[in-house]
A and B are shown apart, each in its own frame.
Chain A
C-alpha cells in the first residue's frame, strides 16, 4: 500500500515518506486512544491520587471542594494497619488475621467448587444417563441469578427463627423426635466456634461455614460448565484403549480424565481465585463480616473504612495494599496460565 500511495511523479519529501510509512502505527494509536484516554482519567490518575492519599490523613473535613488539603502523615496509615493500632477505630481489627482469613477463604472455596464441579460434570457426562438435558438446565441456575440477589436470599434463609435452613432442620428433626428448640441455630452471629481445633490460630465461627456453604451453592456450576466442555472434547478412544489394556474406571479417571481436564480447569481456577478473593457481595450481604470481624475479607474492611468510619486516607492505604496483593496474584496467574499453555498431551 505504501508503494501505491507514494507512486506519484514528484519525489516525496521526508515528511511524506514518514507519513506513509507510519500509517499502521498511526492507526494503532488512533484506535487505542479513546479507551486509553478514558482509562487514564478515571482509573490511572485516581490510582496515583490514591497513592498520595494513603500518605495523608484525608478525612471528612477535607471533602468539600474548597476545603483545605489534608496533612501529610507519610507511613503512619500503613504502620497503623500492620501494627494493629487501627483497632482503636475499627474494633477487633487485625491485619494479619484478616489477610490469613482472606486467603484461607479463597482457597477453601475454590477447592470445593472444583471438586464438586468436576465430579458433577463427570456424573452428567455418563453415557446413557437419563434426563441429562433436564439436569443440565437446572444445574445452571445458580450461575444465572445475580450473586447479590442470591446473597440476600441466603441471608434470609439463615434467619435463626424463621429462616428456611432452621425450619427445614426442625422439620427433619421432628421426624426423629428431636424438639424444634434444638434447631434455633444462630448461623451468622454465634461467636462460639463449632470446631475450635480445626485451624489453630484462626477463629472459624459458624458463619464461616454458613458462608462457605452458600458460596458452594453459588460456585460449583461454573466449574461444572467449564469441565463439561472439556470432557466432551476428550476422545472416547482413550477410554477404549485404556479399557482394552485392562484399566478400571478409577484408573481411567485419574490417568485420562484428570490430566486432560487440566488445561481447561487451570484458567477457570485462576478466575475463581481472583473472584473469590474479592467476593464482596456475598460476605457483606450474608454475614457483614461478623461476628467480631472474623469473616471479614479485605474488600469488606476497606468498604467499612470508607462507609462507616470515613477514614479516606486510611482506606486509601488499605486499597494500595489490596492492589499490591492482587498484583502479586495477577502475575502468579499469568505465570501459571502461561506454564499450562505449553501443556500438551496429544
Chain B
C-alpha cells in the first residue's frame, strides 16, 4: 500500500508468510520424504527418513498394485485417454468457439445456454445413461463400455463444452481488427479462420489442451466404473487401489512414489503455463 513498512511490521509479515509456507509445504515434504524412505517398512512416520533410496520408485515402476499391470501401461492408458480426449475436443470445439465469440445469429443465446448448462454438470450426472448406452454396443468380444475408447467417448461429453467455453473466453480477448481487415481484403471465412484466428489463438489452444489433458490425466469416476480389465486401467484407478478401502497391504513409500510420479509431470507444465491458465479461468467464468 502507500507507506513503506517499518522493520517491526516487516518481521511480523515475514513470520506470517513463513508460517503459510510451512503449511503449504508440509504435505508435500511428507510425501516426498515417505517416497524416499529406504527402510522398506509399510508405515513410515518421520518427515525426514533416516536413510534414502529410490527403491519405492523402482517397485512402483515394476508393479504398482496387485493387479497385473505395469506403471508404463497405466501411464500409457492415461496418456492416450487424456491426450486423445483433449485433442479431439479441441479439434471439433474451436470452430464452434470462434462462431460463438464473433458472430451473432438467431439461436445464439440458446446454443450458449445449452453449452453452459452441460459445462456445469459433473461427470457423474451423465454416468448412468452413458454406462448403459455404451454397454449395449457389443461387437463379438468387444464391449464399447469396457474399453478405453468408451471411456474416452464418455469423457469427451464433459471435455467438449469445457474446451468450447474456455476457447471462447480467449477468442473474445483477441482484437477483431485483424480478422475484419482480412475480410475486407477478400479473404473467405475459411481463410480468415485458418490464417488469422488460429495462429493468434495458438497459446489459447495450448492452454485449453493442457487443461483438458489435466482433467483426463486423473479422471477417476468414469474409468473406475467402466473398466474391468487390468490392462486398460489408468493411473487414477491405481492410485485409488493404493489408498482406498482394501489397500491395507500397500506400503506407503510405494504409494508416495506413485502419487509424486502422477502429479509431477502435469504439475511442472502447470507451473510453466500458470499465467495463461489463471487469466483464462477468470475470463472464461466472467462472460
Contacts and interface: CB of A to CB of B under 8 A. Distances in A.
Contacts of A142: 24
Contact of B111 (A36, A53, A141, A148): A36
B17 A146 contact: no
A25, A226, A252, A303 — which one has the most chain B CB atoms within 10 A of its CB?
Answer: A303
Interface string B221-243: 10011000000000010011011
Sort chain A's interface into a size bin: 35 or more
A141 B103 contact: no
B239 A319 contact: no
B23 interface: yes
B27 A153 contact: yes
A306 interface: yes
B270 A143 contact: yes
Given A28-B103, A267-B285, A162 B43 contact: yes
B218 A42 contact: no
A229 B160 contact: no
A43, A153, A157, A217 — which one has the most chain B CB atoms within 10 A of its CB?
Answer: A43
Given A226-B278, A267-B286, A302 B125 contact: yes
B92 A38 contact: yes
A249 interface: yes
Contact of B14 (A120, A130, A157, A264): A130
A161 B13 CA distance: 35
A312 interface: yes
Contacts of B27: 150, 153-154, 157, 164, 217
A32 B96 contact: yes
A176 to B, nearest CB: 19
Interface stretch (B48-56, B58-66, B127-135): B127-135
B121 A326 contact: yes
Contacts of B13: 123, 126, 129
B1 A239 contact: yes
Given A39-B160, A146-B266, A31 B98 contact: yes
A278 B282 contact: no
Interface stretch (B68-76, B198-206, B255-263): B255-263
A216 B266 CA distance: 22
Contact of B125 (A35, A164, A168, A326): A326
Interface in B15-54: 16-17, 20-21, 23-28, 30-31, 43-47
A278 B16 CA distance: 32
B17, B93, B164, B279 — which one has the most chain A CB atoms within 10 A of its CB?
Answer: B17
B57 interface: no
A31 B96 contact: yes
Contact of B267 (A28, A144, A299): A144
A312 B263 contact: no
Contacts of A249: 1
Interface string B63-98: 000000000000000000000000000001101101
Contacts of B186: 1, 4
B157 to A, nearest CB: 5
B278 A229 contact: yes
A141 B5 contact: no
B175 interface: no
Contacts of A128: 4-5, 10
A204 to B, nearest CB: 23
Contacts of B285: 267-268, 270-271, 337
29 contacts: A28-B103, A31-B99, A32-B95, A32-B99, A34-B96, A42-B130, A53-B129, A125-B1, A127-B3, A139-B24, A141-B28, A144-B266, A148-B236, A148-B239, A162-B44, A167-B46, A226-B278, A229-B278, A236-B2, A284-B220, A285-B240, A299-B124, A306-B128, A306-B131, A306-B225, A319-B125, A329-B120, A334-B116, A337-B286
Interface of A: 1, 4, 23-25, 27-28, 31-32, 34-36, 38-39, 42-44, 46-47, 49-50, 53, 58, 62-65, 120, 123-131, 135, 138-150, 152-157, 159, 161-162, 164, 167-168, 217, 222, 225-226, 229, 236, 239-240, 243, 249, 252, 264, 267-268, 270-271, 274, 278, 280-281, 284-285, 288, 299, 302-303, 306-307, 312, 315-316, 319, 322-323, 326-327, 329-330, 334, 337, 341
